A and B are shown apart, each in its own frame.
Chain A
Amino acid sequence: MTQPEAPAPDAALPVLHALRCAGAVSVARVAAVTGLDPSDAESELIDLGIDGLVTRLPGDPPVWSLTGAGRAAGAERIARELESARARGRVTAAYERFMVLNPELLDLCTAWQLRPVDGVTGVNDHTDAEYDSRVLARFADLDGRAAAVCAELAAALPRFGRYRARLAEALGRAAAGETAYLADNTASYHLVWAELHEDLLVTLGRERW
């Protein structure tokens, strides 16, 4: 069987796409999202900046964001990647499964932050270790089901494999006591999940509603 001619690897695409899915972010977060070394990520960002696809905004730390041209170029290259991998059917199926899990994940983040007591929903003050451990156990259960979806996605398009690693890291840290990694920081399970959601929408060219 002959393989279709492999397209030239698009080294800049993961960086360009990271800004599309994660928004305006620092070099450190581009590195975390893509798995690239920070200096490699920065060098790609600079090249993309020369092409007018991304722009650097002052701040502490400075953040990089897509230009209008970058957004258009990214969408076009992501669509091309999907078609050349003939992955639309598999990604669509995985997206449908993801959308079944999505409300449950949001329920869990909310249950971590808020807690009904006597019919009144208030802030979870994390003084009830038994309740918190129940929430964590359900995160772990959901993560097991999410892993299957991530595996299907990675089989369809290898770049999706990065989400599995990031979700596992967030949950591992939360289970080890760094509970801000559930819903409260920029590497949290919730935010990685939200980036995956955005990525699926962008990849399939869908609207959120």
Chain B
Amino acid sequence: MGWVRPLSARTGGTAGTLGGKASGLVVLHRLGLPVPAGFVVTTGACRAFLRDGRPPAGLDEQLAAAVADLERATGRTFGGPHRPLAVSVRSGAEVSMPGMMSTVLNLGLTTGATEGLAAETGDRAFARDARRGFLASFAEALAAAAGAADVDADVDAVPDDAARQLARAVEAVFASWEAPRARTYRELNGIPHDLGTAVVVQQMVFGNRDGRSGSGVAFSRDPGTGEDTPFGEVLFGHQGEAVVSGRTTTRPLRELAEREPEVWAGLRDALRRIEAHHRDACYVEFTFQSGELWFLQARPGRFAGAAAVRVATELADQRLIGRDEALLRVSPLHLRHVRTPRIAPTAEADVLVRGTGACPGVATGRIATTADGAVRMARTGPVVLVRPETSPGDLHGLAAAAGIVTARGGPASHAAVVARAMGKPAVVGATGLAVDGASVTAGGRTLPEGTLVTVDGTSGEVVLGSPRTVTGAADAHLHRLLAWADDASGDHSARDEAQRLAAAHAALRGR
């Protein structure tokens, strides 16, 4: 029985067997897009590991055979030292979830292979950087797998043998299925505990190779508004983990157009093709090495709220889907946002920075950069507290502020949790925003404390001044979608937006 399958356009198997990530890579292969060579270890192998507490019989041999194939395909040697082959090892369950091991980069860079890489590239600093990336991600992976029990993943314990590194990384992915955080996620979201995860192993492409290398993530359309323009982040000269970790400041995706026009053109073309395949907005992770573009992941975009409405109507306009399907793509729950105040979509808004909306609603106020300042300034008018991130020491400032902006953190950060508890419009993870003393810098502009800004906790936008806000279905796309909904249900009476869409769903499903 095969535990390991090469990744190609011909790879068979459901997402249940291959996992979501590998299935996405097979689609990319079928679309003829550049994907680093690799293979997938099936969820069946993980289930066997979880059941027996050890890898299934035959897995080692099959891994060795898959690596040998990869060596032949790439003309490289796993573990080096001559033309060393380095791989990435990633988890890939059918449904992605937090808490599982994410990625081991540059695996196979033994001390000998690192020397080989330095000799091959003539760039010792790069080879050392790659080796450091391997050691850090390997240690983190073993720690994640060990869960809370043992996080002292000792770098000295890293085997200096590429095959043993691979075996341990694969086991670490399997074991991380049982990480408590992943288990909690499954409990809360009704995902069975016995599915297991697949493991994706691919030849490394190096986003840190040189000045014409980098990594990024991209949506084919803007996930905040649904506008038909690519949106994302790019990090020049770094590997992909740095983009996802949020520890390094990324650049807006459009900077690729200037710095690497060929990569940009390739990316735009690929996004179109992946969209046409899914007939939906899509998300990709990519790396470019010395100007050459590679795709590491692709999936449908899963937009929410106003963006979901706009994408559905525009896909219908573009004849990628029919109107009935456009209606079914939008859940009536997506329309809850229409009763929340937002910055008017038509407003000539001067966007200072964008992050993730963490608590819906709009707040206008003067910038305060410290909690004490927020308390003081709030005595004379509304305040927006802008912080790099928040700690309990900021709580009195959060309480005094009308709105909250943080440069770091995601929708489950301390600031986001507190903002929701207090019901304050909040934007978190506004990358590119810097708080320096009593001023705030973003997009090349520096604003002193006291500058009037508006926070939209739905769209994640922070806008200069006090733009017009709207409540209700002011959105032209929503008007059109709801008109289609009334046509589908045959009911043109006055009802709220969610009822109109729900009636259309009922009529379409009853046909």
Interface residues of A (CB under 8 A from B): 20-25, 57, 63, 65, 93, 96-97, 100-101, 103-104, 106-111, 113-114, 116-122, 131, 134-135, 137-138, 141-142, 145, 183-186, 188, 190-191, 194-195, 197-198, 208-209
Bound: A141/B152 CA distance, A:
23
- Of the stretches B55-63, B185-193, B215-223, the one at the interface is B185-193
Contact B414 A106 (CB under 8 A): yes
Bound: A7/B414 CA distance, A:
36
Contact B98 A107 (CB under 8 A): yes
Query: Is B276's CB within 8 Å of the partner chain A?
Result: no
- A-B contacts, 23 of them at CB < 8 A, read A21-B392, A23-B391, A24-B393, A57-B375, A103-B181, A104-B181, A106-B412, A106-B413, A106-B417, A107-B185, A110-B411, A110-B416, A113-B421, A118-B333, A119-B304, A120-B333, A122-B336, A135-B188, A145-B148, A190-B414, A191-B395, A191-B418, A195-B392
The binding surface of chain A is classed by DSSP as helix
Known: A113-B420, A122-B333, A194-B414. A209 touches B181 (CB 8 A): no
Contact A110 B151 (CB under 8 A): no
Tell me, rounded to whole Å, the shortest Cβ–Cβ distance linking A203 to chain B: 14
Q: Which residue of B has the minimal Cβ distance to A110?
A: B412
Residues on A with C-beta less than 8 A from B421 are 113, 183-185, 188, 190
Contact B417 A190 (CB under 8 A): yes
Residues on B with C-beta less than 8 A from A106 are 412-414, 417
Query: Is B99's CB within 8 Å of the partner chain A?
Result: yes
Query: Is B451's CB within 8 Å of the partner chain A?
Result: no
Bound: A122/B187 CA distance, A:
18
Residues on A with C-beta less than 8 A from B302 are 119
The binding surface of chain B is classed by DSSP as helix
Please encode chain B, from 282 to 308, with 1 for each CB lying within 8 Å of some chain A CB and 0 for all others: 000000000000000000001011000
Bound: A143/B371 CA distance, A:
30
A100-B148, A118-B333, A197-B414 known; 17 new pairs, CB 8 Å cut-off, are A23-B371, A23-B392, A23-B393, A24-B371, A101-B180, A106-B412, A107-B99, A110-B411, A111-B188, A114-B420, A120-B305, A184-B421, A185-B421, A190-B417, A190-B418, A191-B395, A208-B391
Contact A120 B188 (CB under 8 A): no
Instruction: Work out how many contacts link A and B, with CB atoms closer than 8 A.
Output: 125
Tell me, rounded to whole Å, the shortest Cβ–Cβ distance linking B142 to chain A: 13
Within 8 A of A (CB), among B141-166: 143, 147-148, 151-152
Known: A107-B181, A184-B421. A65 touches B331 (CB 8 A): no
* CB-CB nearest 10 A-B residue pairs: A23-B393, A104-B181, A110-B412, A120-B333, A118-B331, A106-B412, A184-B421, A24-B396, A109-B417, A113-B420
Contact A145 B180 (CB under 8 A): yes
Q: Which residue of A has the minimal Cβ distance to B360?
A: A123
Query: Is B479's CB within 8 Å of the partner chain A?
Result: no
Residues on B with C-beta less than 8 A from A118 are 331, 333
Residues on B with C-beta less than 8 A from A134 are 187-188
Please encode chain B, from 360 to 381, with 1 for each CB lying within 8 Å of some chain A CB and 0 for all others: 0000000000011001000000
Residues on B with C-beta less than 8 A from A114 are 411, 420
Contact A120 B417 (CB under 8 A): no
Most chain B CB neighbours (cut-off 10 Å) among A22, A100, A103, A134: A100
Contact B394 A100 (CB under 8 A): no
Bound: A20/B393 CA distance, A:
7
Query: Is B69's CB within 8 Å of the partner chain A?
Result: no
Instruction: Tell me which of B187, B392, B411 contacts A198 (CB under 8 A).
Output: B392
Instruction: Tell me which of A116, A185, A190, A198 contacts B391 (CB under 8 A).
Output: A198
Bound: A65/B70 CA distance, A:
62
Instruction: Tell me which of A113, A120, A194 contacts B331 (CB under 8 A).
Output: A120
Query: Is B408's CB within 8 Å of the partner chain A?
Result: yes
Tell me, rounded to whole Å, the shortest Cβ–Cβ distance linking A130 to chain B: 10
Known: A106-B417, A209-B247. A23 touches B331 (CB 8 A): no
Residues on B with C-beta less than 8 A from A137 are 187
Known: A97-B148, A141-B180. A194 touches B392 (CB 8 A): yes
Known: A106-B412, A107-B98, A107-B184. A96 touches B331 (CB 8 A): no
Bound: A119/B280 CA distance, A:
15
Known: A113-B421, A118-B333. A104 touches B392 (CB 8 A): no
Bound: A190/B152 CA distance, A:
26
Instruction: Tell me which of A21, A110, A116, A209 contacts B408 (CB under 8 A).
Output: A209
Tell me, rounded to whole Å, the shortest Cβ–Cβ distance linking A135 to chain B: 6
Contact A104 B99 (CB under 8 A): yes
Residues on B with C-beta less than 8 A from A141 are 180, 184
Instruction: Tell me which of B99, B143, B371 contacts A103 (CB under 8 A).
Output: B99
Query: Is B124's CB within 8 Å of the partner chain A?
Result: no
Q: Which residue of A has the minimal Cβ distance to B97?
A: A107
